[in-house]
Structure 1
Amino acid sequence: MKKHLLYAISAICLSLTSCHKDLPTELAFESYAYASLDVDGGTWRPVLISAASDLEIAEPAATNSSEYQAELTATKSAIQQMSDFQREKLAHWTNNPVVRWNEIALELIAKYNLIPGPNPDGTYTLPNPASPDGPPAFPFAHPPYASRALAYLSVAQFDGLISAWHYKYHYQRPAAYKVDPSVPFAYQEQDIPAYPSDGAVIATASRKILTAMFPLEAAYLERKEAEHLQSLLLSGEFVKSDIEAGAQIGDQIAVKALARASADGMKNAQTSKAVSDSIANAAFERFGWKWVNLESPQRPVGLTPLFGKVKMWNVPNVEATRPGMPPAPGSAEYEADVKLLQEYAAHRTLERRKIANFWQDGLGTYTPPGHWNDFANRFIVKYKMSTLRAARTLAYMNMAIMDGGISCWDAKYYYHYPRPIQQIEGFETIAGTPNFPSYTSGHSVFSAAASEVLAYVFPAEADMVRAWAEEAAVSRVYGGIHWTFDATVGTQQGRNVAQYTIDKARTDGAD
């Protein structure tokens, strides 16, 4: 573990904007010239569709046509009448709205990351997507839910933008400000065709995916989409038909993404008490132990016992990344870990407390998956990625994170290993009592999976992001939440999962 790693993280955050880990942050960055225009992006291999042309739009009107000229006049008129409020929003969206929509997702995850409370009679009512108003409100955006929402958002953006790039360079219709130099352009100039609008793809796909994930936010998301689409017109880059074509692609890819989501098994992840008890009893018969929930008040069912059965993105099956059996209670390895945790508990240094708190990512935050998306957004801006390449980065990272979570939850409920607080008499944590088994550590798996993808995409940052992942893992040991083998094995598990995604990325044509 690298000493003073927290200070290194803080330095990275400060190099871009202020860094506040516990709640979503909005990066303060201006439009920039893309490091690469990714001219061949329309040939990259997508995830949900077989080819870029699977998403269809009409051939655009020529720039010398009366139809186009009328649209150009309307664009110029809208720019001339722009209000101060619209100028502010135009600056906010920048020329990389992939980051902005990811920030909206993180905001919603934090807002909905709240445990449903008990009823007056001590029973629990689970959030129900069929009745999102509740009570309790749907969803409970816990880490597995967050990982899934971010994966579908990012993959839909990525595939939609591959299709957009295909048509951009097929039709080669220039930006409005290039057709008519009197049109002011709000962002950094770069030679990318305008039809269809990549920003419109992002706006519509993101709105539809996030509305499905957070149905109570439908009106808010519609406002954000409208605000974004208006900013695209006011940027001087697009005319109305550019934006409409992009929105059509966004709509089509969202339909495909949500079709996959409807059949991925997530609706069955949260089980009844009878199923939850049967999983625990099966583990006890298999190994001679089972985790017992020590929450107060105690929820009768652990968190998403069947998340390990959800469809994975790039791993062939969950058994491919299931780790070996943890140390049996009473074994020499187990007893050595008991002594180590007792030593940490007796000597909770300021540095260890800081590490535990920094990586806590508990209720009311954007969770560990969101934490790594925040890091990724900062690297995207630092390295001046195009919208397409930014979406690719987040898509592969979030697929690896979700696959990692599925693999981790499979291990948690297969082994059903007790937490230290259950096994060590008088033991106390400084980070709460999670409502699911111990082995392996979710923080460790999520973080290692994310860090490996970021190390692949940003090789200059590889040592740092891997050190961050190791610190995220040990933070749970310092907090008393996990055994050290939960963290070390979980870290390797996350790396193993990520390798499947990295292997897929290396063959998509983007490198």
Structure 2
Amino acid sequence: MNNKIFALFVVFGFIAMTSCEKDLPQYIPYEGYAYSELTVNGGDWVPILEESGASIDIPVPEATDSQAYQNELEEVKEAMANITSSQKNAIKYWTNNPAIRWNEIALELIAKYNLIPGPNADGSYTLPNPANPEGPPAFPFAHPPYACRALAYMSVAQFDGLISAWHHKYGYNRAAPFAVDESIEYAYEENNIPSYPSDGAVIARASKNILTAMFPLEAEYLQQMEDEHLETLLLSGGNVMSDITAGTTIGDAVSETALTRASNDGMKNAQTPKAVSDSIKQAAYDRFGWAWDNLEVPVRPVGLTPLFGQVTMWSVDDVESVRPIAPPQLDSQEFLDDVELLKDYADNMTEEHRRIANFWQDGLGTYTPPGHWNRIANELIVEYRLNPLQTTRTLAYMNMAIMDSGISCWDAKYYYHYPRPIQLIDGFKTIAGTPNFPSYTSGHSVFSAAASEVLSYVFPQEAEQMRAWAEEAAISRVYGGIHWSFDATVGTDQGREVAQYTINRAKVDGADQ
């Protein structure tokens, strides 16, 4: 296993083990498992971006009794006969459900790049620039909006790619090498899923392409991971080279479609110049009589991604249609009651409240709140033994909902421009810093509610626990002094409402039939 990834797993495990009785599931290492089902009709499902599973063409495969295929079998057997210990470890690491591993690699990179650029010596700030990724500062700053977008595009590309793979698998129905030649021992639990094209190769190529675009400084590392992953597909006895080549063809096609969408979704305009940021703030002040102020020293001239709320959503046509109600007036009883509530939490901080605030913090240098929910999803996927297609469907819809909810949240943040508690309560201090964007609604609450609703749809047996965790994540920001309680409660409702658009889309993609 890559040393950086292993170190990250150790950190995740330590966090989980040191939390109290409400701790999240610990990371569960796995080497592969028998799928709960094979999803034979998966090639008929409706993709997110591609027109259908048949949209991507690949060559007609050679028959298993052809000389060309027999030659490929001999290549597999020769490679397996000369396997090294490091290659065996790689086979164990990648498993027969590698979308999880690529998701974990994405989380690793998000944590690595989730570092806010500091001020220059003269107090000014230089923003990360995709045209000059080496910086300084390095590109990207993988803050929550950036993180949820990267995860969404990778997961959607994986899902569309596997729908195409399943379409061709059951169209050509070519058996895997271990099923054709009894002398080949498969490294994982045997199954009857056809091997052409290789679903693992689809995942490897699509994931590498998306993550390289999102984290350009990691191109060499990501290429190394793809090369290792593709090699294991042959060494495991699960694929011949033509299976793998066909899979990478699909992976290239779906990632190109996804990245074309990404280039035109508006994210490149989300971080605005100061003049635009100032105009957004003034518009809110004219509208409501309040505005959020950045209290950093030196002051960062622009909040974080003021126009992320204008990025194209996956399942909602108009972001204003899911904009929440206005927050309380600053002289209202609801607001004054919340001031007293936050003061009480701060003056009477319990160990349990502090633990909850710290556990869900997911701040700088972490995989962010969207990443936290991806870890939870990965653990459920393994627990319920989902196959690769089911896995990518789960991650795609969850990350689409998280991104849509984040866009909705940022629309509300900069439309209402509501001040944070530290700005309005004299002498107030947080226990978790102060984010560089307005208060209403809470991003943690929105992200968590959206993720929990999709996971409740996919894993209905876990719905009560998922929703409980989402509510705990929401209140954690109030305990930490970051947010007003209405930021959390309205944000939770907002995330659930936005997620329903994604769930409604999922219900008609063919998987539930």
Provide the TM-score with structure 2 as the length reference: 0.96
TM-fit CA distance, 1:121: 1.0
Q: Deviations over 1:283-307 (max 9, x none)?
A: 0000000000011232110000000
Letter of the 2:390 partner, please give it: R
Is it true that 1:320 corresponds to 2:311 in the alignment?
no
Match for residue 201 of structure 1? 202
Question: Which string of whole-angstrom CA distances, capped at 9 and with x for unpartnered residues, describes residues 412-446 of structure 1?
Answer: 00000000000000100000010000000000000
1:56 aligned residue: 57
Residue 31 of structure 1 aligns with an amino acid whose one-letter code is G
The C-alpha deviation readout for 1:49-86, integer Å capped at 9, x for no partner, is 11111111010011111111111100000000000000
State how far apart, in whole Å, the 1-side matches of 2:238 and 2:259 are.
30
Match of 1:21 in 2: none
Q: Say whether residues 1:10 and 2:23 are aligned partners.
A: yes
SS at match of 2:119: coil
Letter in 2 for 1:330: D
Tell me the amino acid that sits aligned with residue 23 of structure 2: S
DSSP 3-state at the match of 1:329: coil
The amino acid of 1:107's aligned partner reads E
Give the aligned partner of residue 331 of structure 1. Answer: 332
CA separation in 2, counterparts of 1:185 and 1:296?
Answer: 59
Structure 2 segments unaligned to the other structure (5+ residues): 1-17
1:114-125 equivalences under 5 Å are 114-125=115-126
What is the match of residue 260 of structure 1?
261
1:334 maps to a residue whose letter is: F
Residue in 1 that maps onto 2:347:
346
Question: How far apart, in 2, do the equivalents of 1:415 and 1:481 lie?
Answer: 17
Q: Deviations over 1:4-61 (max 9, x none)?
A: x964553632xxx4xxxxxxxxx41121110010000000010001111111101001
Correspondences of 1:38-53 after superposition (within 5 Å)? 38-53=39-54
1:301-450 matched pairs, under 5 angstroms: 301-450=302-451
1:464 and 2:465 aligned: yes
Aligned to 1:33: 34
Once the two structures are superposed, what CA deviation does each residue of 1:357-392 show, in whole Å capped at 9, x if it has no partner?
000000000000000000000000000000000000
- 3-state SS of paired residue (2:40): coil
Q: Over residues 69-120 of structure 1, what are the superposed CA-to-partner deviations in whole Å (9 max), with x where a residue is unaligned? A: 1111000000000000000000110100010000000000000000011111
Contact 2:306–2:410 at 8 Å: present in 1 too?
A: yes
Cα distance in 1, alignment partners of residues 419 and 145 from structure 2 = 20
Amino acid at match of 1:35: S
CA displacement, residues 439-463 of structure 1 (integer Å, 9 cap, x when unaligned)? 0000000000000000000001000
Contact 2:25 2:376 in 1 (8 A): no
- Which residue in the other structure is 1:275 paired with? 276
Q: Secondary structure at the match of 1:490?
A: helix
Q: Which amino acid aligns with 2:343?
A: Q
In 1, Cα distance between equivalents of 2:157 and 2:239:
22
Deviation at 1:499, TM superposition (A): 0.3
Counterpart amino acid of residue 383 in structure 1: Y
Q: Indicate yes or no: 2:185 matched with 1:177.
A: no
Residues 246 and 465 of structure 1: is their aligned pair in 2 closer, same or farther, counting only changes over 3 Å? same
SS in 2 for 1:54: coil
Q: CA separation in 1, counterparts of 2:20 and 2:248? A: 42
- Report what 2:297 is aligned to: 296
Query: TM-score when scaled to structure 1?
Result: 0.96
CA distance in 2: counterparts of 1:275 and 1:362, whole angstroms: 26
Structure-2 separation of matches of 1:53 and 1:191? 21
Distance 1:66 1:298 in 2: 70
Letter in 2 for 1:362: G
Letter in 2 for 1:213: M
Task: Map residues 156-171 of structure 1 onto 2, 5 A cutoff.
Answer: 156-171=157-172
Q: How many angstroms apart in 2 are the aligned matches of 1:83 and 1:10? A: 39
Report deviation, 1:316.
1.6
What percentage of residue pairs aligned between the two structures are identical?
67
Cα distance in 2 between the residues matched to 1:262 and 1:89: 34
- Return the offset for 1:497: 0.3
Instruction: Indicate the RMSD between aligned Cα atoms, in angstroms.
Output: 1.0
Give the Cα–Cα distance (whole angstroms) in 2 for the partners of residues 412 and 75 of structure 1: 56
- How far does residue 330 in structure 1 lie from its aligned partner after superposition? 1.1
3-state DSSP of counterpart to 1:106: helix
AA at the equivalent of 2:337: A
SS state at 1:40 partner: helix
> For the residues of structure 2 that align with 1:355 and 1:134, how far apart are their CA atoms?
36
The 8 Å contact of residues 446 and 494 in structure 2, kept in 1 or not, is answered as yes
CA distance in 1, matches of 2:301, 2:457: 41
CA distance in 1, matches of 2:98, 2:353: 37
Aligned CA distance change for structure 1 residues 7 and 465 (closer, same or farther; 3 Å): farther
Measure, in 2, the Cα distance between the counterparts of 1:11 and 1:108: 22
Q: Distance in 1 between matches of 2:132 and 2:510?
A: 43
Write the distance in 2 (CA, Å) between the matches of 1:132 and 1:324.
Answer: 39
